[in-house]
Structures are given as structure tokens and as C-alpha cells.
């Protein structure tokens, strides 16, 4: 078959290859034509190539999945998945009697059930774009979608494991997130990530008998927190390891028996501004033991009811906004609204957003964990799928063959298996206060 015998598609689907509608592929260098099987669309080789390309671009972002207990998604196995964990056998401190067989033991296996959910997205490519663009649009779309898939699936896992019950605030200076401070003149008041902070977290995991991963615990850390920690003289970079060849992808170093994986996707607790034009508000008039606070919100566009459900910080106290007008906040001690707050403050006292740290500062979560602390589904098999719909594949819904799409779909669930084997360390970062 000659090139002139087939209808050219407008899309370039592979390096050195031109897709000819639903007919087949021509190698631009050799002129060789490969015809598809009837109704096959992309050839099996090309489908495999682009599927692998999507997964390759997704997996580098999956930092939070990397150390999970993996469970492969079975085909036609239902939407529920089951992770297994075994209880340790108790100590046997009583001696056995001579010639008497002791009572046998049983292994207790616990299970954690979870239900799969689907996620996905796609990009639409028009015939005019495919006709006029210089770049290989399918390849670029696949790369961008792979990044999107990776960041999406990583965030799903991150939010689950960041919801663990074990949390440490700095070195233990405070006992709540909204008290985590930074930028203070008195260095001891700053809740930055320090070696002592790591040492305390390691002590917790050791006391829980959490098993290590390749001889160490693992931490996922944000670059801003890594900046505060890496200046310690005991910090060891990967090239300083006894066996530098056995490092994890993205590993930046270790200290106190913890190996650190750096990721900008590490969890940050960030409080949104209280108004569109300003992060904070100002008290308008002195208040003494009152559950309402007056502020000048009309000038900065605060609308009635806009702040309901938010938390605010006033004089270091944290209060729940039960109602608001453009000038008055009605405050409660917590979200149950059972107890009205009693606030005392001076005129022009700053009102900070209360969902993060002291004075509204960002709070960073550094996750430190051992083996089998959490589980997730594997990306192989039905986990992540690359889907291409060519021009004309939509039938009568696309009568002029104007639209092609490329997308991804994934089935996934992540669960915490053993709460005691993980701890979330929440700190401020000196970098936040330098910017």
C-alpha cells in the first residue's frame, strides 16, 4: 500500500510516525506502512508505548506511595480490597513441664477493608490544532496527563496518611497546630525542624516496635524543612553513606536513623486569607470579655456570612466564627457552637486566620514511618490506564471528525494499617519567614 492510497490523519502520534486516520502508521523515515487490525485504532505496540509513557511520568511523583504495603487490584474482584496485618505473638515466660506438650498457639490476623474509587481526566485535541501545531500533541498531552495523574494519586495517599492520630508539634514546645510558631526573636519559641525533633519522633517509633525499612525509618520532607535540618554537623548526604549505591529515588540524606525523601508535595497546612485583599483583619475598637468582635471589613470587601466556619486567632487564642456581618464576628470556643467565646483585645489587634500556625504561619508536616505503616493499591493491572480516542471515533456526536481526546483513569485506595508505626511532625520553617 502506498502513502497516496490512504487518508492522512492530522495527528502525529509517535516520534518518526504519522497516524493515518484509523488505517495504520507510516514510518516517516522508511516509508513503511503498518496497517491496524479492523477497529483496533492505535497498534498494540503504540498503545503499550503511550501507556508506559503515561505511567513513567506518573510514578516519579508518587513519593507517598513508594513505601506502602502494595495490593494489586484484581480484575473482576469487586470494589472492596483487603489489607492484612498480623498481631505479634506474646512472650512465653513460663517454663514448659518435662515430657508435657505445651498448649499450641494461633496466629491472629487482622484485616483492614477499603473500597476502591476511580479518578481520571482527559484533554481534548481539535483537528485544527493537530493540523497546525508543530509539536507531537499526543506525546505532550500524555506527558502532562502523566504528571497530573501522579500528583493526583500521590495527594490522595498523602491526605490519608497525614490524617494519622500520632502527631508531634516541633520539639514538644506546644500541643496544638495553631500554636506552632516561627520568626520569633527568642529561638526557643520557634518550632522549626531540628535534630532533637527527629530524635523524639524516632524514640516514639522505637517504643512502638515499628520495623525499619532497609535499616532506617523513612521520612517525607518538604524542601523548606530540609533547609532547616541539613545544616546540622551530623547530617549525612547519600554520597557519605557506607553503601551509597542503595539510596532511594529523591533521597537527600539521613540523620538519627532516618532517611529523608524530599518532595514539594509534602503536606503543608495553609490558612487562606480572611479577605480578598488582605490575609488578616484588624479589631475596630477595644473589646473586654465579649463574644463578638468588631472589625472594619466593609472597606476590604468582607461579605456577610463569608467567614462562617473559619477559625481565627486573636491574642494567641483560637476561636470559631459562628456568624459574621461585614463588620462583626460572632465567636465560639469550637465548632459545636455550644460555648460563646470571651475575647479581650485592644483596638487594632491583628486577627489572623486560624487554620494553620501561630499568626497564620504555614505549618509543614514531615511524615516519619516504618515498615507496613500504611497500604495502597498497585498501579499495575487496572490501576492506571491510558485512553486515546482518535478523530472520528465518536460517531454521530462528532460528525465532522473535529475532536480527539487523550486521558487517564485510575482505581485507587490508600489506608493506614498500623497507626503506631507512623508519626506526623508538624513544624514551621524559617524559610517561610524570610520570604
Angle between helical axes of 137-161 and 44-58 (0-180°, round to 10): 40
Helix (H) or strand (E) run with residue 143 in it: helix 137-161
At residue 65, the pLDDT reads: 92
Least confident piece of the model among 30-44, 215-229, 245-259, 392-406: 30-44
DSSP-assigned beta bridge partners for residue 104: none
**What average pLDDT does the chain have?**
84
Q: How far apart are CA 343 and CA 333, in angstroms?
A: 10
At residue 7, the pLDDT reads: 34
pLDDT, tens digit, 9 for 90 and up, residues 411-435: 889 999 999 999 999 999 998 776 5
DSSP 8-state symbol, 11:
-
The confidence band for 112, taking pLDDT boundaries of 50, 70 and 90, is confident
Does the pLDDT at position 18 exceed 80? Answer: no
The confidence band for 14, taking pLDDT boundaries of 50, 70 and 90, is very low
Does the pLDDT at position 17 exceed 70? Answer: no
At residue 203, the pLDDT reads: 97
Do residues 334 and 254 touch, judged by C-beta distance below 8 A? Answer: no
Mean pLDDT value of segment 103-122? 86
Least confident piece of the model among 77-81, 129-133, 141-145, 300-304: 129-133
pLDDT, tens digit, 9 for 90 and up, residues 263-300: 999 999 999 999 887 899 999 999 899 999 999 877 78
Mean pLDDT value of segment 23-48? 51
Least confident piece of the model among 105-119, 150-164, 257-271, 381-395: 381-395
Listed in sequence order, the residues at least 6 apart from 387 whose beta carbon sits closer than 8 Å to its beta carbon are: 122, 405, 406, 407, 408, 409
The more confident residue out of 16 and 161 is 161
136: number of Cβ within 10 Å: 17
At residue 357, the pLDDT reads: 96
Does the pLDDT at position 46 exceed 90? Answer: no
At residue 226, the pLDDT reads: 96
DSSP per residue, 37-57: PTT--S-HHHHHHHHHHHHHH
405: number of Cβ within 10 Å: 16
Strand, helix or coil for residue 197: helix
Mean pLDDT value of segment 93-101? 88
Least confident piece of the model among 179-193, 290-304, 319-333, 372-386: 372-386
At residue 1, the pLDDT reads: 36
pLDDT, tens digit, 9 for 90 and up, residues 199-243: 999 999 999 999 999 999 999 999 999 999 998 888 999 988 877
At residue 39, the pLDDT reads: 34
Q: How far apart are CA 189 and CA 378, in angstroms?
A: 43
The more confident residue out of 114 and 366 is 366
Does the pLDDT at position 336 exceed 90? Answer: yes
The confidence band for 154, taking pLDDT boundaries of 50, 70 and 90, is very high
The confidence band for 43, taking pLDDT boundaries of 50, 70 and 90, is low
At residue 435, the pLDDT reads: 55
DSSP-assigned beta bridge partners for residue 70: 376
At residue 35, the pLDDT reads: 43
Give the rounded percent of residues in the chain with a pLDDT score beyond 70: 85
DSSP-assigned beta bridge partners for residue 386: 408
Q: Quick check: pTM over 0.85? A: no
The more confident residue out of 287 and 43 is 287
Sheet (strand 17-20) strand order: 17-20, 24-27, 33-35
DSSP-assigned beta bridge partners for residue 364: 268, 427
Q: Which three cell numbers stand for residue 268?
A: 503543608
Amino acid at each position: 500500500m502506498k502513502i497516496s492510497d490512504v487518508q492522512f490523519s492530522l495527528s502525529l502520534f509517535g516520534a518518526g510516525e504519522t497516524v493515518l486516520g484509523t488505517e495504520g502508521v507510516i514510518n516517516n523515515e522508511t516509508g513503511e506502512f503498518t496497517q491496524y487490525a479492523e477497529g483496533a485504532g492505535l497498534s498494540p505496540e503504540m498503545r503499550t508505548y503511550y501507556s508506559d509513557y503515561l505511567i513513567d511520568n506518573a510514578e516519579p511523583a508518587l513519593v507517598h506511595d513508594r513505601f506502602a504495603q502494595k495490593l494489586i487490584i484484581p480484575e473482576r474482584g469487586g470494589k472492596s480490597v483487603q489489607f492484612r496485618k498480623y498481631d505479634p505473638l506474646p512472650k512465653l515466660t513460663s517454663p514448659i513441664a518435662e515430657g508435657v506438650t505445651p498448649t499450641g498457639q494461633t496466629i491472629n490476623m487482622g484485616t483492614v477493608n477499603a473500597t476502591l474509587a476511580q479518578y481520571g481526566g482527559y484533554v481534548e485535541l481539535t483537528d485544527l490544532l493537530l493540523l497546525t501545531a508543530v509539536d507531537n500533541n499526543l506525546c505532550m498531552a500524555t506527558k502532562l496527563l502523566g504528571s497530573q495523574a501522579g500528583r493526583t494519586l500521590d495527594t490522595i495517599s498523602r491526605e490519608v496518611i497525614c490524617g494519622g492520630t500520632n502527631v508531634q508539634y516541633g520539639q514538644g514546645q506546644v500541643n496544638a497546630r495553631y500554636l506552632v510558631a516561627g520568626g520569633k526573636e527568642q529561638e526557643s519559641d520557634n518550632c522549626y525542624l531540628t535534630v532533637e525533633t527527629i530524635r523524639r519522633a524516632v524514640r516514639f517509633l522505637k517504643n512502638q516496635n515499628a520495623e525499619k525499612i532497609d535499616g532506617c525509618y523513612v521520612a517525607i520532607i518538604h524542601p523548606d524543612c530540609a533547609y532547616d535540618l541539613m545544616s546540622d554537623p551530623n547530617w549525612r548526604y547519600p554520597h557519605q553513606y557506607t553503601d551509597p549505591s542503595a539510596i532511594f529515588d529523591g533521597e537527600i540524606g539521613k540523620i538519627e536513623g532516618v532517611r529523608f525523601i524530599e518532595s514539594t508535595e509534602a503536606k503543608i497546612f495553609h490558612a487562606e486569607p480572611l479577605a480578598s485583599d488582605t490575609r488578616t483583619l484588624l479589631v475596630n475598637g477595644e473589646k473586654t470579655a465579649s463574644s463578638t468582635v468588631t472589625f472594619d471589613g466593609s472597606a476590604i470587601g468582607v461579605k456577610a456570612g463569608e467567614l462562617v466556619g473559619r477559625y481565627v486567632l486573636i491574642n494567641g487564642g483560637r476561636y470559631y466564627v459562628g456568624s459574621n456581618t461585614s463588620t462583626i464576628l460572632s465567636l465560639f470556643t469550637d465548632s459545636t457552637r455550644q460555648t460563646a467565646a470571651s475575647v479581650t483585645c485592644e483596638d487594632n489587634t491583628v486577627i489572623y486566620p486560624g487554620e494553620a500556625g501561630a499568626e497564620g504561619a504555614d505549618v509543614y508536616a514531615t511524615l516519619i514511618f516504618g515498615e507496613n505503616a500504611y497500604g495502597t493499591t498497585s498501579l499495575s493491572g487496572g490501576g492506571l490506564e491510558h485512553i486515546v480516542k482518535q478523530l472520528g471515533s465518536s460517531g454521530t456526536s462528532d460528525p465532522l471528525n473535529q475532536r480527539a481526546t487523550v486521558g487517564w483513569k485510575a482505581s485507587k485506595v490508600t489506608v493506614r494499617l498500623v497507626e503506631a508505626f507512623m508519626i506526623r511532625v508538624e513544624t514551621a520553617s524559617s524559610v517561610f519567614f524570610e520570604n
